Chain A
Amino acid sequence: MIAEELVPNSESEVCEAVMAAGAAASCLHIRGGGTRHAMANAEGKRLSISGLNGITLYEPAELVLSAQAGTPVARIEAELDSKNQRLAFEPPDYRDLLGTEGEPTIGGCVAVNASGPRRVNAGACRDGLIGVRMVTGRGEIVRSGGRVMKNVTGYDLVKLSAGAHGTLGVLTEVTFKLLPKPQTQASLVLRGLSVARAIEAMLTALRSPYEVTGAAHLPAGQGREGATYLRLEGFDFSVQHRSRELVRVLTPFGEAERLDELGSAAVWRDIRDARAFQVPPGDVVWRVSTRASQAAALAAHLSGIAKAAAFDWGGALIWLTCALDGDGGQAAIRGALRAVGGHATLARAPAEMRMRLDTFEPLPDALMNLTGKIKQAFDPQGILNPGRMYTTI
């Protein structure tokens, strides 16, 4: 276990910590809000970014916000809410799913490129991210992007650092473009559809012009009827209009029930945070990204392996629950994905199993080779989060 935790209070202290680790030929395990499982059997020190806390720039009229990486997401959302704005990507909170404590931070969100249900319409965390500051494994402060929405000056290290799990640099500050908060939301619910019909209903809704910002299906099970949710957001008159139109488009799938603003918000919070899937404690959870049109067939194919499947992003995201034995379904899931395209990430498993399995989809040789060289370019001594993404990185 890691004995020591460093808590730098400034970017320059992060540089010092990285340099010191390099000088000692040691390594650092970066801790955002501590809402994800720590590495088991890791050596070196923990580096908490909790000391880098605070909104550093917020210009509502320019739809832009910068915050130090350790700033709690909740604090940012509260600040945005007070000005009727929000982050587009709907940051999820997986503490219930993972059984962890801690507080989600904005830097942690970026490091794992965490995106909620609105990803299907408004893009991922990385799509809203327009600027980063980080301390690389060389102990240097590197900036990319900035505070303006359109910026192609130099290579896009903003995208590269999103989802790099802190293996290239310690994020110190992140900047997002924002969206106005819609005046209201509503959801349509279709009940009792099979998975295949539910996917069809979601694809039908998503290809309509009515700007569906959430499309999820929770299959029947545990005494519960299957439910398919479709979310609309915007000005009140617009949501009214589009929900009427969408009901009409969805007629072949049965009668749609309408959830008002409060009901809709509650449902989507639960979907966002994976609570709605009611995963039994102890089960292994995979997050599968694939073609929505193949989701029903894929889930059917894996029905012998997976105990349950729930669908977000119109079916392009499948949450699979597997029993805690053997490889937790890894070989079957990844094998099936090779045929249809996509990738699987191990979202939850006990430490012992995470040690044995590949958390992330193994990459083809050419991409793995480049991955190693990119890591080398940023962190030649392998100081930052070794083994966090791939054993050789």
Chain B
Amino acid sequence: MNALTMPVPDPTIIARRDSIVAGLRAILPGEQVITSEAERRAYETDALTAYRTLPLAVVLPKSTGEVAAVLSYLQAVKVPVVPRAAGTSLAGGALPLADSVVVGTSKLSQVLDVNFRDRTARVQAGVTNITITHAVEHGGFFYAPDPSSQLACTIAGNIGMNSGGAHCLKYGVTTNNLLGVTMVLMDGTVLEIGGEYFDSPGYDFLGLTTGSEGQFGIITEAVVRIIPKPEGARPVLLGFASSAAAGVCVAAIIAAGILPVAIEYMDKIAIEISEAFTSAGYPLDVEALLIVEVEGAEAEIALQLERIIAIARHSGAMHVREAANAVDALAIWKGRKAAFGATGRISDYICMDGTIPTGQLPNVLLRITEICSGMGLRVSNIFHAGDGNLHPLILFDVNDPNELAKAEKAGEDILKLCVEVGGCLTGEHGVGIEKRDLMRFQFEEHELVQQARIKRVFDRDWLLNPGKVFPLDLQLPEAAL
């Protein structure tokens, strides 16, 4: 994973920059075509900030028709396109190429229709995740997937990466909450897939597209399921003397037939960093904590929490803090939600995203610590314990190239470990550039080739978001597919 290379930019495309920009200006009004270096800077990276590249130009279409016109033009002149939603990808999914045009969806920001009767919302793809909930909460609804970046990230990127969040243990991830999309292919074809009804006919193009990392087309509209808000929800915070005890507790809760909406895990370093920043009142004398949230009517919540707390005590919990009210609940969540930001204040970090079978938790946590300390690096572990989706944050100093290389190597070893124990490279952040070269660790060659064939069905010339997801040699025109 270290020394990530990107495809060599095509000098003949860069030489044609003026003509390409003129072509884009013929399609879109002036302010929607961004060419100055200062303004392009804002698009040179995403949340994987160690990698930066200035694109040729950035365009911000305002309609499906404009996206189609832009893409069919860029296909005709054979210019790569990097789709960009909010640019919050932790995997480099929105990293530009020097010979590419970035097509941003930020001006597609309207909520088009809210349908409480059918429990659906139709939105333009550039609306933020939280906007959907804001648009429907007056009717007693919410949009379920809740990535940590939900204030900033948009539904276009959520669909591109099949984003999850803390509450997907009960409600599923993006693909389980999506009913339809409008997608523009590289040749300008506009596809309508699904709609305000269940299970679109034919092959599941909706499912196939979700998580395709912007390599099939650019999503301009989406129809999502909205869900009635529960009567109430409250978390309990549980502290343990060891990660193993926390792991035992998670398994015991599930074995008791309780399906909380969220089970979040933080280790000692994550607790300390988070507490120093938020003063959420987390216990500092524990090795691991769990935040377990349940939903329902007040009496139901109370009974479920009582059962969970009994299980936790039986598993050796040394600290129990039940949220008595909404203010307490917010305080308990505050530390967890701010954990990534708090870490960013004290150190640079890379955030891993492997998923493992939950039974492997204690073993994997030990080995993560060994891997990182073996390289002289600190690691803080935060993850969705109910579904085994790990987020080790590997701390390093970005000004020291040697440290970045070590951090990337540690990350690689952790992800390989996840695959070895029966899990996967990425649970919700996507492959992007970050895990591209590890794909051969997860898949056999012919399996990658089969996936690459699908890419070619949608985009014969690999113009859409090239350099991502697949090892670069599979993306060459001469690759045998």
A interface list, Cβ under 8 A from B: 59-64, 84, 113, 115, 119, 123-124, 126-127, 136, 140, 142-144, 146-160, 162-164, 168, 179-183, 203, 206-209, 211, 235, 237-238, 241-242, 245, 289-293, 313, 316-317, 341-343, 345, 360-361, 363-364, 366-368, 370-371, 373-374, 376-378, 389-390
Which of A156, A313, A316, A390 gathers most chain B CB within 10 Å?
Answer: A156
**Extra pairs beyond A61-B359, A153-B435, A238-B296 (16, CB < 8 Å):** A59-B357, A113-B204, A126-B207, A142-B446, A154-B439, A159-B204, A209-B140, A235-B300, A235-B303, A289-B199, A313-B198, A345-B201, A360-B202, A364-B192, A367-B205, A377-B457
Q: Which stretch (B24-32, B281-289, B325-333, B419-427) binds chain A?
A: B419-427
The smallest beta-carbon distance between A130 and chain B, in angstroms, is: 10
Let me know if A150 and B388 touch, CB within 8 A.
Answer: yes
Taking CB as reference atom, which chain A residue is nearest B191? Answer: A366
Let me know if A156 and B118 touch, CB within 8 A.
Answer: no
Contacts of A149 in B (CB 8 A): 169, 355, 387-389
Q: Is B98 on the interface with A (CB-CB < 8 A)?
A: no
30 inter-chain pairs at a CB distance below 8 angstroms, sorted by A residue, are A59-B359, A62-B358, A126-B204, A126-B207, A127-B176, A147-B357, A147-B422, A151-B424, A151-B427, A152-B427, A152-B430, A154-B431, A154-B443, A154-B451, A156-B210, A159-B210, A160-B203, A160-B204, A160-B208, A182-B257, A203-B118, A235-B300, A289-B199, A291-B118, A292-B117, A293-B115, A313-B198, A316-B118, A316-B197, A343-B200
Taking CB as reference atom, which chain A residue is nearest B481? Answer: A377
Which of B196, B201, B258, B454 gathers most chain A CB within 10 Å?
Answer: B201
Which of B423, B424, B451 gathers most chain A CB within 10 Å?
Answer: B424
Q: CB-defined interface of B201-224 with A at 8 Å, one 1/0 digit per residue?
A: 111111110111000000000000
The smallest beta-carbon distance between B182 and chain A, in angstroms, is: 12
Q: CB-defined interface of B148-182 with A at 8 Å, one 1/0 digit per residue?
A: 00000000000001101000110011011000000
With A123-B172, A180-B257, A367-B202 known as contacts, the answer to whether A237 contacts B197 (CB < 8 A) is no
The smallest beta-carbon distance between B456 and chain A, in angstroms, is: 8
Q: Is B119 on the interface with A (CB-CB < 8 A)?
A: yes
Contacts of A123 in B (CB 8 A): 172, 176
Contacts of A115 in B (CB 8 A): 199
Q: Is B299 on the interface with A (CB-CB < 8 A)?
A: yes
Let me know if B257 and A183 touch, CB within 8 A.
Answer: yes
Let me know if A367 and B197 touch, CB within 8 A.
Answer: no
Contacts of B451 in A (CB 8 A): 154-155, 157
Contacts of B357 in A (CB 8 A): 59, 62, 64, 147-148
Contacts of A151 in B (CB 8 A): 355, 423-424, 426-427
Let me know if B389 and A160 touch, CB within 8 A.
Answer: no
Taking CB as reference atom, which chain B residue is nearest A363? Answer: B202
Q: CB-defined interface of B110-134 with A at 8 Å, one 1/0 digit per residue?
A: 0000011111000000000000000
Let me know if A367 and B191 touch, CB within 8 A.
Answer: yes
The smallest beta-carbon distance between A20 and chain B, in angstroms, is: 19
Let me know if B199 and A148 touch, CB within 8 A.
Answer: no
Question: CA–CA, A154 to B436, complex, Å?
Answer: 10
The smallest beta-carbon distance between A239 and chain B, in angstroms, is: 10
Taking CB as reference atom, which chain A residue is nearest B297? Answer: A241
The smallest beta-carbon distance between B474 and chain A, in angstroms, is: 12
With A203-B117, A377-B457 known as contacts, the answer to whether A142 contacts B447 (CB < 8 A) is yes
The smallest beta-carbon distance between B232 and chain A, in angstroms, is: 9
Contact partner of B164 (CB less than 8 A), chosen from A146, A150, A163, is A150
Q: CB-defined interface of B436-465 with A at 8 Å, one 1/0 digit per residue?
A: 000100111011101101111110000000
